[in-house]
Amino acid sequence: MPVLVMKFGGTSVATLDRIRRAAKRVGVEVAKGYDVIVIVSAMAGETNKLVGYVDETSPLYDAREYDAVVSSGENVTAGLMALTLQEMDVPARSWQGWQVPLQTTSGHSAARILDIPTDNITRKFGEGMRVAVVAGFQGISPEGRITTLGRGGSDTTAVAFAAAFQAERCDIYTDVDGVYTTDPRICEKARKLDRIAFEEMLELASLGAKVLQTRSVELAMRYKVRLRVLSSFEEQSDHAGTLVCDEEEIMESKVVAGVAHSRDEAKMTLLSVADRPGIAATIFSALSEANVNVDMIVQNISEEGRTDMTFSCPTDQVARAEVALSDIKEKGILNFAELVADTNVCKVSVVGIGMRSQSGVAAKMFKVLADEGINIKVITTSEIKISVLVDRKYMELAVQALHDAFELDQAS
């Protein structure tokens, strides 16, 4: 029988009533002839509660025991979902990560998937099981310890299972009814997309869209796993939600598919750094070692033999960046006049695979922002993306103006 993967997020399984609602959706797919692998998250709020218990018990905790505790939320949901399906006369069984076994690296709380052997679950399907309910977010290390994949890891689990079992599709059920051209809370004209290319979704996810976890989209693109994002609370339909797929499956797409934003950005500038080979490597090696996620980078010539280096990073990593750069200055590894941090900026981006074949997108974007009196502080581009840093107070205006300018409220 064909295999379908269905993943239910925390809000979709937050209560027993919602678990029953999700189970009914699974039952509909079983009736269509699918063998179904259901990936479940912990019930909404449960993981935060478990993390709180760990922090209160042991502030300097053992990461192995942290994983043992926080992974338990998914185990509870998996068992309850399997019981609910059994009550509906659907042959179901719950599976914890180690039972599959989902094999991972030893990086506790941030493990990466190495392999998902299909033999155990496939054998059970052959014996009459119709639904395997798998606890998301968890696996087992080479040492035999429970590991977790990091926040949002259940999305990654679902895509990995879809790839391993060559599933027809991977449905991600959440509390939104699909992928929108921009955040509907900011722009009331935001439109739900019927389809979006893997590359576009990956850019949007990395730029602040919260619908899908970035690692899951990367995995889906690599293994060509067709993803469907849809709501647990809307009417069930074969055409609901947004399909994330290969661009060959999209007949015609707009030049720009969406506008993304990230509110919590900071712009940091090192003034008067020596302009010679190796300086950039020194700066960004220090930031990397301090686990600072650098995004946009601009280098300016300020005076003969000296340069200014500007980069962006999340606001909650500014202090870490300041310590790392001050440390290499004190050690005489790097000399600079001043480090200036601006934490009142945001990042606004336009994304679209159509940019590959059509010119003028950057010029149009910059003119729209100029007409609104919005000054651009930093610019970065890729083949299908243009991002700018602007003052945070202009974020909503910038998103709305760009959404209107590229007519994203209208279908292709």
Shared domain check, 238 and 141: yes
**Domain endpoint, select from 199, 214, 248:** 248
Query: Is residue 199 located within the same domain as residue 322?
Result: no
The reply to whether 389 and 285 lie within a common domain is: yes
Numbered residues of the known binding site for ATP: 7-10, 174-175, 180, 185, 210-211
Under the banding of pLDDT at 50, 70 and 90, the label for residue 15 is very high
Number of domains present in the structure of the chain? 2
pLDDT digits (tens, 9 = 90+) for 319-373: 999 999 999 999 999 999 999 999 999 999 999 998 888 889 999 999 999 999 9
Binding residues for substrate are 47, 74
> Could you tell me if residue 357 is inside a domain?
yes
State whether residue 295 is helix, strand or coil.
coil
pLDDT given for residue 252 in this prediction? 66
Does the residue 254 lie in any domain? no
Domain match, 357 and 209 both:
no
- Say what the pLDDT of residue 208 is: 62
Contact 354, 332 (CB under 8 A): no
Q: What is the DSSP letter of 236?
A: P
pLDDT digits (tens, 9 = 90+) for 86-141: 999 999 999 999 999 999 999 999 999 999 999 999 999 999 999 999 999 999 99
Are residues 244 and 263 located together in one domain of the fold? no
pLDDT, greater one: 116 or 204? 116
Same domain, 83 and 202: yes
Q: Which residue has the higher pLDDT, 248 or 6?
A: 6
Q: By the 8 A CB rule, do 302 and 270 touch?
A: no
Q: Is the pLDDT of residue 81 over 80?
A: yes
Q: Which residues are annotated as a binding site?
A: 7-10, 47, 74, 174-175, 180, 185, 210-211
Question: Are 267 and 211 members of one domain?
Answer: no
- Residue type present at position 95: W
* Integer Cα distance of 131 and 228 in angstroms: 19
Q: Are residues 106 and 162 in the same domain?
A: yes
Backbone angles phi and psi of 162, in degrees to 5: -60, -40
Among 254, 253, 194, 258, smallest CA distance to 403 is for: 258
Give domain status of residue 109, yes or no: yes
Measure Cα distances from 381 to 52, 258, 298, 323, 378 in Å.
40, 15, 12, 29, 10
Q: What is the pLDDT of residue 302?
A: 64
**Which residue among 248, 281, 316 closes a domain?**
248
Average pLDDT over residues 1-24: 96
Query: What do you get for the CA distance between the two ends of the chain, in Å?
Result: 36
CATH number for 65: 3.40.1160.10
Are 237 and 333 in the same domain? no
Structural domain includes residue 382: yes
Query: What is the pLDDT confidence band of residue 412, given thresholds at 50, 70 and 90?
Result: low
Domain ends where: 214, 248, 282? Answer: 248
Give the per-residue pLDDT at 410.
Answer: 87
Enclosing domain of residue 236: 3-248
Q: Which residues pair with 147 in a beta bridge?
A: 139
Residues 136 and 231 occupy one common structural domain:
yes
CATH number at residue 397: 3.30.2130.10
- Are 293 and 392 in the same domain? yes
* 144 pLDDT above the threshold of 80: yes
227 pLDDT tier (thresholds 50, 70, 90): very high
The mean pLDDT value of the chain amounts to 92
| pLDDT over threshold 70, residue 180 | yes
* pLDDT over 80 at 237, yes or no: no
CA–CA distance from 390 to each of 7, 162, 301, 378 (Å)? 37, 40, 21, 8
Q: Which two tokens stand for residue 373?
A: 């009196």
Looking at residues 270-277, what average pLDDT do you find?
A: 89
Read off the pLDDT of residues 52-67 as tens digits, 9 standing for 90 and up.
Answer: 999 999 988 999 999 9
Domain check: are 244 and 267 in the same one? no
Which DSSP state fits 59? T
Instruction: Say whether pLDDT at 236 is over 80.
Output: no
Work out the number of other CB atoms within 10 angstroms of the CB of residue 89. Answer: 8
Domain membership of residue 93 (yes or no) is: yes
**How confident is the model over 379-400, as pLDDT tens digits?**
999 889 999 999 999 999 999 9
pTM metric for this prediction: 0.84
